[in-house]
Amino acid sequence: MTGCTLWRNARLATLADGWGLVERGAVVAEDGCIRWAGPSRQLPAGLAVTAEHDLGGALLTPGLVDAHTHLIYAGNRAGEFEQRLAGASYAEIARAGGGIRATLDATRAASEEALLAAALRRALALRAGGVTTVEVKSGYGLDLATEARSLRVARRIGAATGQSVVTTFLGAHVTPPEIEGRADDYVEAVCTWLPSLHRAGLVDAVDAWCEEIAFTPAQVRRVFAVARALRLPVKVHAGQFGNQGGAALAAACGALSCDHLEWLSTADIDALRAAGTVAVLLPGAFYSLRETRVPPVAALRAAGVPMAVATDHNPGSSPTLSLPLMLNMACTLFGLTPLEAWLGATVHAAQALGLHDRGRIAPGQRADLAAWDLDHPRELAHRFGDAPCTATWTAP
């Protein structure tokens, strides 16, 4: 081996088999790829170590993966929070022209540099909580120019922060006000934008919101047919406020993930399982909207559907920038175990993005790592509002 990076004097939580705890552990990487991990005393001899990190006994884990964010937008919607506290519902505010449409106006008016500056601050806040891979959706432009600008900003985040960024085109978020009431026409436009955004190298995946206040399964299918022709993976926002058939559609289309899922039938769960679709749970939106219907975690667990946990960072329903806080909420509000929550923010989150090269500390995985001032990873799920991440590393 030549030119290795060595992390030593660490307590490892590899997540390779359960917690995968290794006392006095070490990790060796070469060219950004983990070559060896295990107890320091078994470290292979003859390593040409060119960079070394002494963890001083700290906990070393895989870097976290935030599989669902809406990081690119301008403005804020704290006024809607006040309205909701006073009794208005999310759907009522949306129907009255607030919600996503309010963010649309601010985002369309913002320059690429302004959007980037705001998004970078958010990405760095996520990284301070251990996030080394982040999925970033468009969906606050809903015209070709602003969707393209948003996706360009998403691409630029990775170069600026060192995080891996997966871009997702969410043109089918809601129908924009200029063609209010003509959702089919808007879907047609989205279908024509997608190939050009893809040609520009801006799209890694395609998302759509299947909900009464957004799009029907038939409309989402039209967008996904274009995605399939371009060989782009798809994912669905579904089951947040009701069951419009979005989860069944996700499974039928072989979606990487189906996200939210407070409203899910037994048949949906079986279909997700058969399709290998990851259930992405978003406790921040549930909490912030003060919802009461929880996702059917016990049934998902029993069926063996992989569960991920993400921030859903957005200016309306989930203005959080802490994935560790979501681990806590996934346990306290949804009933995940601390280990399930960790797998949900690492290996299952990676799976929700179609990535199989990260989420565990094991040979062949990317050297995306996070160090924590914790004795055991379960402490991160126990604490809230306190995520003592002391360093992150991402493979070049």
- Which residues of this protein are in contact with ligand NIG, per CB under 6 A? 70, 99-100, 103, 209, 237, 240, 285, 312, 314-318
CA-atom Rg of the chain in angstroms: 21
Q: Which does 316 bind (CB under 5 to 8 A by kind): ligand NIG, Fe ion, none?
A: ligand NIG
CA distance 55 to 60: 8
Give residue number: closest CB to Fe ion. 312
Cβ 65 to ligand NIG shortest distance, Å: 17
Q: Which does 285 bind (CB under 5 to 8 A by kind): ligand NIG, Fe ion, none?
A: ligand NIG
Q: Which does 141 bind (CB under 5 to 8 A by kind): Fe ion, ligand NIG, none?
A: none
Report whether 313 contacts 319 (CB < 8 A).
yes
Which residue lies nearer to Fe ion by CB, 211 or 312?
Answer: 312
Cβ 290 to ligand NIG shortest distance, Å: 14
CA distance 241 to 209: 11
Cβ 208 to ligand NIG shortest distance, Å: 10
Residue 177, classed as helix, strand or coil, is helix
Cβ 303 to Fe ion shortest distance, Å: 23
CA distance 218 to 246: 10
Report whether 62 contacts 19 (CB < 8 A).
no
Which residue lies nearer to Fe ion by CB, 285 or 341?
Answer: 285
Cβ 332 to Fe ion shortest distance, Å: 21
Cβ 9 to ligand NIG shortest distance, Å: 41
Q: Which does 99 bind (CB under 5 to 8 A by kind): ligand NIG, Fe ion, none?
A: ligand NIG
Which residue lies nearer to ligand NIG by CB, 34 or 250?
Answer: 250
Which residue lies nearer to ligand NIG by CB, 103 or 164?
Answer: 103
Provide the token pair at 262.
């407070």
Cβ 376 to Fe ion shortest distance, Å: 31
Which residue lies nearer to ligand NIG by CB, 168 or 240?
Answer: 240
* Sign of torsion over alpha carbons 298, 300, 306, 310: negative
Q: Which does 317 bind (CB under 5 to 8 A by kind): ligand NIG, Fe ion, none?
A: ligand NIG
Amino acid at 106: A
Which residue lies nearer to ligand NIG by CB, 191 or 285?
Answer: 285
Report the Cα–Cα distance between both ends of the chain, in Å, rounded: 18
Report whether 260 contacts 268 (CB < 8 A).
no
Cβ 367 to ligand NIG shortest distance, Å: 31
Which residue lies nearer to ligand NIG by CB, 164 or 314?
Answer: 314
Report whether 374 contacts 44 (CB < 8 A).
no
Q: Which does 340 bind (CB under 5 to 8 A by kind): Fe ion, ligand NIG, none?
A: none
Q: Which does 315 bind (CB under 5 to 8 A by kind): Fe ion, ligand NIG, none?
A: ligand NIG
| Region class of 340: left (phi > 0), else alpha (psi between -120 and 50), else beta | alpha
Cβ 128 to ligand NIG shortest distance, Å: 22
CA distance 50 to 41: 19
* CB proximity list for 313: less than 8 A, separation 6 or greater: 66, 69, 70, 71, 122, 126, 284, 319, 320, 321
Which residue lies nearer to ligand NIG by CB, 316 or 377?
Answer: 316
Question: Phi and psi of 48, rounded to 5°?
Answer: -90, 90
Binding site for Fe ion (CB under 5 A): 312
Give residue number: closest CB to ligand NIG. 316
Burial status of residue 303 (CB atoms within 10 A of its CB: 0-12, 13-18, 19 or more) = middle
Q: Which does 100 bind (CB under 5 to 8 A by kind): ligand NIG, Fe ion, none?
A: ligand NIG
CA distance 298 to 106: 40
Which residue lies nearer to Fe ion by CB, 262 or 312?
Answer: 312
Residue 350, classed as helix, strand or coil, is helix
Angle formed by the axes of helices 217-229 and 183-199, nearest 10°: 20
